[in-house]
């Protein structure tokens, strides 16, 4: 049975002391231990946050990105091995903001996936379409291409270790949200494509999260959909009450 997950991506927010205060608030407010709560703070916070959460079986820590090589003269970059050494267990790969602002290509993302898996990190791999692709009704073609060009390069054994996050780019930080009908339709499509590639056993067990302005008000409806296993949360994860309300929406 697929585990329910709510991952909070803090992006470039919170100093270390502010982040640790937020973690304390989230721990205090948390009441749904059946949901895995993955916290993705800035790199600078990983070790301290992992230490805070190490005894909490319903919490885990993720990095927001990793470099596509294991080491080298890459000033300012962080490798998957370095992330794993902090106590983090997950890493977000292919977020739309990384694709847009850092120009990340499918070739780079394949390397990041391989580095993450080699370091025993679980990738949370993001895919999604632009508003132009949605309006042109080519969004499913975009989703299929992103699956094929990156994730479908993995062996069945490695693919089973991946979490997928569907994030319609037009619904990130815009206040717009896909309707539950739209979101479920894409999640069902993703699972169908995985079934074609890897078979029903794998497709039925892969966790697929929704990430696109999911909040305390719409989470319950989104999470009630058959193929939505939780959320990758942005802004709402920066407030303990909102994040906890989302985790209680199953």
Domain segments of the chain as ranges: 5-247
The question of whether 51 is a catalytic residue gets the answer: no
Residue 8 sits at φ, ψ, to 5 deg, of: -105, 115
The active-site residue, picked from 95, 97, 187, 193, is 95
Q: What is the pLDDT of residue 1?
A: 78
Residue 144 sits at φ, ψ, to 5 deg, of: -60, -40
Task: Quick: pLDDT tens for 225-250.
Answer: 999 999 999 999 999 999 999 999 99
Mean pLDDT per segment of 10 residues, for the chain of length 250 residues?
95 98 98 97 98 97 98 98 98 96 96 98 97 94 97 98 96 83 97 98 98 93 98 96 97
5-247: CATH, from 3.90.1640.10, 2.60.40.10, 3.40.190.10, 3.20.20.70: 3.20.20.70
What value, to the nearest 5°, has the Cα angle with vertex 212 and ends 154 and 19?
90
The active-site residue, picked from 97, 129, 133, 167, is 167
Residue 9 in contact with residue 64, Cβ under 8 Å?
A: yes
Q: What is the pLDDT of residue 30?
A: 96
Place of tokens 């494509």: 193
The question of whether 95 is a catalytic residue gets the answer: yes
Place of tokens 């073609």: 141
pTM given for the model: 0.98
Rounded CA separation 229/178 (Å): 15
The end-to-end CA distance of the chain, in Å, is 15
DSSP state of 39: E
Structure tokens at 198: 């890897």
Q: What is the pLDDT of residue 71?
A: 97
Concatenated DSSP letters of 131-146: HHHHHTT-HHHHHHHH
Q: What is the pLDDT of residue 47?
A: 98
CA-closest candidate to residue 46, choices 90, 2, 76, 4: 90
Q: What is the pLDDT of residue 155?
A: 98
The residues, any chain, with a CB within 8 Å of residue 155's CB and separated by 6 or more, are none
């Amino acid at each position: 049975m697929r585990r329910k997950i709510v991952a909070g991506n803090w992006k470039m927010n919170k100093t270390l002391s502010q982040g640790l205060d937020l973690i304390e608030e989230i721990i205090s407010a948390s009441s749904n231990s059946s949901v895995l709560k993955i916290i993705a703070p800035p790199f600078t916070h990983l070790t301290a946050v992992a230490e805070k959460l190490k005894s909490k079986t319903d919490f885990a820590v993720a990095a927001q990105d990793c470099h596509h090589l294991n080491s080298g003269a890459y000033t300012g970059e962080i490798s998957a091995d370095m992330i794993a050494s902090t106590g983090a267990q997950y890493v977000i790969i292919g977020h739309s903001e990384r694709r847009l602002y850092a120009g990340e290509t499918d070739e780079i993302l394949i390397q990041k996936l391989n580095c993450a898996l080699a370091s025993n990190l679980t990738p949370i791999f993001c895919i999604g379409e632009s508003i132009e692709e949605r309006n042109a009704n080519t969004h499913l073609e975009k989703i299929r291409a992103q699956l094929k060009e990156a994730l479908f390069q993995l062996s069945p054994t490695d693919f089973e270790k991946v979490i997928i996050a569907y994030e319609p780019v037009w619904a990130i930080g815009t206040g717009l949200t896909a309707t539950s009908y739209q979101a479920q339709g894409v999640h069902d499509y993703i699972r169908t494509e995985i079934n074609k590639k890897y078979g029903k056993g794998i497709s039925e067990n892969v966790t697929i999260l929704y990430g696109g302005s999911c909040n305390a008000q719409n989470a319950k409806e989104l999470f009630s959909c058959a193929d939505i296993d939780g959320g990758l949360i942005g802004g709402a994860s920066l407030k303990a009450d909102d994040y906890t309300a989302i985790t209680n929406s199953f």
